[in-house]
Amino acid sequence: MFQITPIPAFDDNYIWMLQKPGSHDVVVVDPGDATPVLAKLKQDQLQLQGILITHHHADHTGGADQLAKQFDVPVYGPANSPYKGISQSLVDGDSCEVLGQSLSVRTVPGHTLDHISYFIDGEQPQLLCGDTLFLAGCGRLFEGSPQQMLKAMNYFSQLPDNTQVFCTHEYSLANLAFAEAVEPENAEIQQTISNCQTLRKQQKPTLPSSIAQERLINPFLRTQQASVRDAARKYQGADLKDEEAIFAAIREWKNNF
Give how far Cα 201 sits from Cα of 169, 173, 195, 204, Å. 17, 12, 10, 8
Distance CA 240, CA 156 (A): 24
Question: Cβ–Cβ contacts within 10 Å for residue 51, how many?
Answer: 29
Strand partners, 117: 106
Give how far Cα 170 sits from Cα of 73, 156, 176, 198, 223, Å. 28, 19, 12, 14, 23
| Cis upstream peptide for 205 (omega within 30°) | no
Query: Does position 104 have pLDDT exceeding 90, yes or no?
Result: yes
Work out the mean pLDDT of the chain and round it to a whole number: 97
Query: Which residues lie below 8 Å from residue 30, measured CB to CB, with a gap of 6+?
Result: 13, 15, 16, 52, 53, 54, 59, 60, 61, 130, 168
Distance CA 1, CA 149 (A): 27
Query: Does position 246 have pLDDT exceeding 90, yes or no?
Result: yes
Single pTM value for the model: 0.97
Domain spans in the chain, listed from the N-terminal domain onward = 3-255
Distance CA 37, CA 226 (A): 44
pLDDT digits (tens, 9 = 90+) for 14-73: 999 999 999 999 999 999 999 999 999 999 999 999 999 999 999 999 999 999 999 999
Are the C-beta atoms of 168 and 30 separated by less than 8 Å?
yes
pLDDT digits (tens, 9 = 90+) for 163-200: 999 999 999 999 999 999 999 999 999 999 999 999 99
Strand partners, 7: 15
pLDDT of residue 167: 98
Query: Does position 241 have pLDDT exceeding 90, yes or no?
Result: no
Instruction: Give the class (CATH, top level) of 3-255.
Output: alpha beta
Confidence of residue 1 (pLDDT cuts 50, 70, 90): confident
